[in-house]
Structure 1
């Protein structure tokens, strides 16, 4: 059954390798007064998209004191947005509630479509360049690759349980998914064929694809965090840490592929050497005034190698920026 398009609805202990530079915080901005539920940062760090309970979706340019756009699923109520994603080219953004998803033009702020699914519940979603392909990861393990322009869709049934993590190649041809069924799958959205399946010991908590298709990162809830080379799928490195039950709430490769930056539900940001799996540095994002709630999850994080700048969005409602130089730690 095709999607129903709704045309009128929108208006401690760690192993550390080499030197450990201390990041210098250069800015902090409140992006959500009462906290952020979901967030994504553009690959170049130039803007962020956050979802809130009170104001819907807010698009924030870097260091801005006011949001550029405020979006919501329909005019009469603020929907609970459970996931958002920005395309690799920064052209479009998508957002999803459990039963609906929408697409927005970053430049003009125009709504490009609003759709309702016919069954299941959305857990994750991602979008390719120019909005060419949207992929939904559902709670029943199904994934749907959808072309908004043509309406073409392909359903993928490689997983048997809920999709917890999702990433897409910039061209939309490949998706990396992680599930409660203890596996991560790299699959082709054109054919529905599995390229690689990586079984792990626990439920999958995070995945990431290098934008040029060089590397894939998969992590589960039982301390397995592995970097694979592509296209062969071989293990390059395993992240080295001594924490028990380490969970990642965000992960992204740097442009060169030399570094992986991660965020955790315990406020921690870390940068890793992708060749060795060694942690180069780590630090924590801020809490809200008064320390309530007493923790904050890192929802999205980007490391800009050229600018030596890290950008983060956290559930505390803050965007934070740090200057950091880890080039001397990369062997």
Structure 2
């Protein structure tokens, strides 16, 4: 069934570390007064996109006191945004509710399209550079690769259960997906062919692709978190946990590929050595004043090696910046 284009409206610590002490906090701001449902940070850390319950989608420049844009799907439906993504070149951003998704120009704020999927329920959404490819991961395990300019779409049926995590290569050619069916799959959006399929011992919780295609990361719910080399797919390392049952809510490789940074539902951020899987630094994001709610999930993380800075967005509605020093940690 083809997508249906609809209208859209533009509106305007405690540190836990077995390695190093908690890094120095540089800055903290409130990005969502009543908490954040979904968030993404651009690869260079210059923008954050957050989904809120009252103000829709907010695009925040780094350190800004005010959002650059406020976007909505439709009036009265702002609380239904369940996933967002920023393209690797900061050209466009996408957002999804259970049955619709939208694309926005990050420079002008213009809406570039609003589509209904017709059937199924969306779980995850990712977008390539310039908005050339949008990929949806659905609750029934189906994935859809969609070109907004041409309308071309490919449906991929590699998973048999809900898709829990997605990442896309900047050029849009490859997607790494993770599912409740205990598998992670790297597949080609041009042909719909599987490049690699990896089986795990539990339901999959998180994936990450290195932007230059050097590595793939996938983690399940039973402490299997594996970094693999691409294109061959051979295992490079397994993350060495200081505790058990670590679930990830966010993951991203640094630009060099030397580090993997993760976020967890327990407020924890961690930096890992890609080559060895060693934990290099581990700390927690803040709660709101008064400590309510009593916990927060890390929704997005970025490690800027050039500036030795980590940026995070959490469900507490906070963006935080830390200065990180990994000298001598390997």
* TM-score interval for Structure 1 and Structure 2 normalised by the shorter chain: over 0.9
The equivalent of 2:81 in structure 1 is: 81
1:176 is aligned to 2:176: yes
Question: Matches of 2:77 and 2:182 in 1, distance apart?
Answer: 37
- Report the TM-score when normalising by structure 2: 0.96
The equivalent of 1:128 in structure 2 is: 128
- Structure 2: where are the runs of 5+ without partners? 11-15
Q: CA deviation at 1:226?
A: 0.4
Contact 1:15 1:241 in 2 (8 A): no
The equivalent of 1:238 in structure 2 is: 238
- Structure 1: where are the runs of 5+ without partners? none
Question: Matches of 2:283 and 2:17 in 1, distance apart?
Answer: 14
The equivalent of 2:193 in structure 1 is: 193
The equivalent of 2:303 in structure 1 is: 303
Question: Matches of 1:328 and 1:21 in 2, distance apart?
Answer: 13
Matched pairs, number? 326
Between 76-85 and 234-243, report the one with greater CA deviation: 76-85
Q: Classify the secondary structure of the residue corresponding to 1:291.
A: coil
The equivalent of 2:265 in structure 1 is: 265
1:18-57 correspondence runs (5 A): 20-57=20-57
Question: Matches of 2:41 and 2:140 in 1, distance apart?
Answer: 27
Q: 1:77 to 1:125 in 2, by over 3 A?
A: closer
1:282 is aligned to 2:285: no
The equivalent of 1:9 in structure 2 is: 8
Q: Classify the secondary structure of the residue corresponding to 1:270.
A: strand
The equivalent of 2:321 in structure 1 is: 321
Question: Matches of 1:318 and 1:76 in 2, distance apart?
Answer: 24
The equivalent of 1:69 in structure 2 is: 69
Question: Matches of 1:245 and 1:164 in 2, distance apart?
Answer: 17
Q: Which runs of 4+ in 1 moved over 2 A?
A: 8-11, 75-79, 327-330
Q: Classify the secondary structure of the residue corresponding to 1:103.
A: strand
Question: Matches of 1:291 and 1:75 in 2, distance apart?
Answer: 31
Q: CA deviation at 1:290?
A: 1.5
Q: CA deviation at 1:243?
A: 2.0
Say what the alpha-carbon RMSD is for the aligned residues.
Answer: 1.4
1:210 is aligned to 2:218: no
Contact 1:94 1:101 in 2 (8 A): yes
Q: Classify the secondary structure of the residue corresponding to 1:58.
A: strand
Contact 1:21 1:325 in 2 (8 A): no
Contact 2:94 2:104 in 1 (8 A): yes
Q: Classify the secondary structure of the residue corresponding to 1:130.
A: helix
Contact 2:188 2:195 in 1 (8 A): yes
The equivalent of 1:99 in structure 2 is: 99
Q: CA deviation at 1:90?
A: 0.8
Q: 1:202 to 1:324 in 2, by over 3 A?
A: same
Question: Matches of 1:232 and 1:197 in 2, distance apart?
Answer: 12
Question: Matches of 1:264 and 1:100 in 2, distance apart?
Answer: 27
The C-alpha deviation readout for 1:215-274, integer Å capped at 9, x for no partner, is 000000011000000000000000001422210000000000000000000000000000
Between 250-259 and 78-87, report the one with greater CA deviation: 78-87
1:119 is aligned to 2:116: no
Question: Matches of 1:61 and 1:183 in 2, distance apart?
Answer: 36
Contact 2:17 2:282 in 1 (8 A): no
Contact 2:17 2:283 in 1 (8 A): no
Q: Classify the secondary structure of the residue corresponding to 2:197.
A: strand
Q: 1:31 to 1:235 in 2, by over 3 A?
A: same
Contact 1:15 1:240 in 2 (8 A): no
The equivalent of 2:13 in structure 1 is: none
Q: CA deviation at 1:77?
A: 4.1
Question: Matches of 2:241 and 2:21 in 1, distance apart?
Answer: 18
Question: Matches of 2:172 and 2:78 in 1, distance apart?
Answer: 30
Q: CA deviation at 1:76?
A: 5.1
Contact 2:17 2:281 in 1 (8 A): no
